[in-house]
Amino acid sequence: MLRKFLPAWLAGATATAILLANTLFWGIVVFALGLVKCVLPLRGVSDLLHWAYRGWCRGNRVGLQLGCPDITLSLPEHVSNQAWYLLVANHISWLDIVVLSALDRLPAPKFFLKDELKYVPLIGTGAWALGMPFMKRASKAKIAKNPKLKGMDVERTQHSCRHFRQHPTTVINFVEGTRFTAQKHQRQGGAFHYLLKPKAGGVAFALEVLAQQLDGLLDATVIYQSPDQHICRSFMCGKLQRIDVRIQLLSMGSVPQGNYQTDKQYRIAFQAYLNQLWLDKDAQLMAYWEQQQARGAVCGEEVKQL
């Protein structure tokens, strides 16, 4: 492996350059194909778009393998790259997106994006070309003034997601809504040691839109071993020691489903379900770090930071 022959700092810098060049190249290709698709909305153009998107995912995998010496994936054998899944994950770093996109055993990863991101070069234009849904949800105040807005976000996203039926897809949702930091964790308090509080609305919304075509719910836990709590900086400097991704498959029959906006009982039940899922994930993380500390893989201070 090339990393064996490079100093850590050079491996990190080269890996970062690969990820940036990869995003620039495939971002331009996807955007150009998206323009072609506007003129010629043919299945063949859509297939080319997803081929280019897979190229971006493969490039991310190359960059990660160079930048981190130890990457492990725990995934049930019966998870298929020809199926459709909703994946929920903890959120530690911007690198999470690259890591999850590089998992070649999963169907093509797609994201629910905030409407504002459509104007971001490469990211927004690439997502637009690939037909990823941009969420523009009406506030309660706006709905109160104009009741016609109620339910329009669901209809709009259902329309955006219609192409998901053509290509196997993993829809990714970072349930905490923001990246974990010690400051955010301290402000929240609560029952979690290694996680922020989960936000049920986004996941329930995705389930309402996509439940009929999903084959299962993937619960993903992303773990980094690093001497620096700033994961991206650690990766760029070649100091990131390990990336561990653990995924379990939950059947759709075990996931509560309903109308989160209008059904109060369902809203309470789903919040309790997701909170329990996060408590289990937090316990898994605690056991992981206790095991690593016992093996002497990391010092106690590093475990506390992570």
pLDDT top residue among 165 and 78: 78
Nearest to 174 by CA among 231, 131, 249, 112: 112
Nearest to 171 by CA among 160, 181, 180: 160
The total of other beta-carbon atoms located within 10 Å of residue 40's CB is 9
- With 60 as the cut, is the pLDDT of residue 303 above it? no
Of 157-171, 218-232, 239-253, 264-278, which gets the smallest average pLDDT? 157-171
pLDDT top residue among 262 and 193: 193
pLDDT in the model for residue 136: 65
| pLDDT above 70 as % of the chain | 86
- The pLDDT tens digits for 134-176 are 766 555 666 667 666 565 566 666 666 666 667 788 999 899 9
pLDDT in the model for residue 305: 38
- The pLDDT tens digits for 263-294 are 899 999 999 999 999 999 999 999 999 988 88
**Residue 306 pLDDT class (50, 70, 90 cuts):** very low
pLDDT in the model for residue 210: 81
pLDDT in the model for residue 62: 95
pLDDT in the model for residue 206: 81
Q: Going by C-beta distance under 8 Å and a sequence separation of 6 or more, which residues neighbour residue 122?
A: 23, 24, 27, 28, 31
- With 90 as the cut, is the pLDDT of residue 193 above it? yes
Report domain extents, the chain: 69-305
Q: Going by C-beta distance under 8 Å and a sequence separation of 6 or more, which residues neighbour residue 101?
A: 56, 57, 60, 109
Whether 125 and 263 have beta carbons less than 8 Å apart is answered as no
Nearest to 229 by CA among 183, 268, 174, 165: 183
Q: Going by C-beta distance under 8 Å and a sequence separation of 6 or more, which residues neighbour residue 18?
A: 59, 62, 63, 66
At residue 225, φ and ψ (nearest 5 deg) are: -110, 120
At residue 53, φ and ψ (nearest 5 deg) are: -65, -40
Question: CA–CA separation, 154 vs 65, rounded Å?
Answer: 39
- The pLDDT tens digits for 52-74 are 999 999 999 999 999 998 999 99
Nearest to 97 by CA among 75, 77, 74, 123: 123
Classified as helix, coil or strand, 93 is coil
The total of other beta-carbon atoms located within 10 Å of residue 139's CB is 9
- The pLDDT tens digits for 1-38 are 667 788 999 999 999 999 999 999 999 999 999 889 88
**Residue 122 pLDDT class (50, 70, 90 cuts):** confident
In the numeric block, which tokens belong to residue 164? 């998901």
| pLDDT above 90 as % of the chain | 50
CATH number of 69-305: 3.40.1130
pLDDT in the model for residue 292: 85
Average pLDDT over residues 122-133: 79
Query: Which ranges in 40-167 belong to alpha helices (H)?
Result: 43-67, 95-101, 123-129, 140-145, 152-160
- With 80 as the cut, is the pLDDT of residue 216 above it? yes
In the numeric block, which tokens belong to residue 77? 């054998």
Q: Using the 8-state DSSP alphabet, how is residue 119 labeled?
A: G
Sign of CA dihedral 18, 21, 24, 26: negative
CA distances 63 to 75, 148, 204, 236, 256, Å, are 21, 47, 34, 11, 38
Beta pairing partners, 225:
242
pTM score: 0.86
pLDDT in the model for residue 279: 96
Nearest to 199 by CA among 174, 221, 182: 174
Q: Going by C-beta distance under 8 Å and a sequence separation of 6 or more, which residues neighbour residue 288?
A: 223, 244
Q: Going by C-beta distance under 8 Å and a sequence separation of 6 or more, which residues neighbour residue 31?
A: 122, 125, 126, 129
